[in-house]
Chain A
């Protein structure tokens, strides 16, 4: 599969491996590590942005079912990351940037 591009050509979805060649400064590397964190979050919590107590309390307060991720879902997500060899890929990406 090819990495798709957004409509605005000036803002194409960046390829981290390509970015690694162009952007060498330490700030960029730090920013990249923050981006990789999104994938790590999914692997660990099932969500790209982990839930906070504030959010759960607010949802409870207003009367909608508070958000949570089941044990079954977490088990499936771990299986997906393992079977697709995502960890090895992420290590490679980290090395390249």
Chain B
């Protein structure tokens, strides 16, 4: 693995400010992350003063860039005021927005002054944010030893297809936790937990959602999703693992729609990485991971896991 950055720095930034996502088509993402953090005794805080990161306003060009950067700066200052050194996100869009805002604020003094004025703070406040941004895959990798020590079930016997997502891979260009063109660190994490991580030809293809593309170019978006899913189906994956609510929406809910309309003839359960880690730790699939709220039933997967676990 070619990571230039040491994951261990993540461990030094607790307590995390757990940034709750807006997209809640899969409430299990937030619920599972909450219970996994609690189970692993990783300190974190949440706040009702948190707002959206603003990603849709800038990246979909619906408002001036100042809106998203201001919202991010405000949320980061909130984390700092709670003595958190890092914001922990569960969404690729939030990850992109925060990292983009941090880069812009540190490289563009005029913008930093303008943002300070907009949010009613001093330029020094905005220049000296001193808050880092981490996504759950990085956090889980950093706390791998704790997961290995406290895991109740191995993923042995499960074929897992990993989807990194376009926005996450794009940010890896800057964050350098891994090679953005061919990231492997989550594959490595899941292999260590016993899974057989499958390679598939369209691993780096978008889920088909791509921000507003799924609304503007519906057919193109659907075809890309089909291409991705068929590629995963061909290698016999038991499940798909993602860490972005938007990719999850696309691969789970749209997969169900594609199946219902006869455009595909298979159904592959899709889990957020936090939910999969929760399963490994033995958390309750219903009340702590909300696996019953997925569009593609996770029951066959749970049955298979149950068989494997009994064998162990």
Contacts and interface: CB of A to CB of B under 8 A. Distances in A.
A34 B51 contact: no
B56 A42 contact: yes
Interface in B86-110: 100, 104, 108
Contact of B216 (A28, A49, A80): A28
A59 B31 contact: yes
A19 to B, nearest CB: 7
A77 B61 CA distance: 18
B23 A49 contact: yes
B231 to A, nearest CB: 14
A93 B67 CA distance: 15
B308 interface: no
B118 A79 contact: yes
A73 B181 CA distance: 38
Most B C-beta atoms less than 10 A away, residue of A1, A55, A58: A1
A58 to B, nearest CB: 6
Contacts of B216: 14, 19, 23, 28, 31-32, 35
A65 B51 contact: no
A85 B30 CA distance: 33
A62 B288 contact: yes
Contacts of A77: 51, 71
B2 to A, nearest CB: 17
A61 B213 CA distance: 35
Interface of A: 1, 3-4, 6-8, 11, 13-17, 19, 23, 28, 31-32, 34-36, 38-39, 42, 46-49, 51-52, 55, 58-59, 61-65, 67-70, 72-73, 76-77, 79-81, 83-86, 89-90, 93
Given A48-B23, A89-B64, 14 more contacts: A6-B210, A11-B206, A13-B211, A19-B216, A59-B31, A61-B287, A64-B30, A67-B30, A73-B50, A73-B51, A80-B70, A81-B67, A83-B66, A83-B117
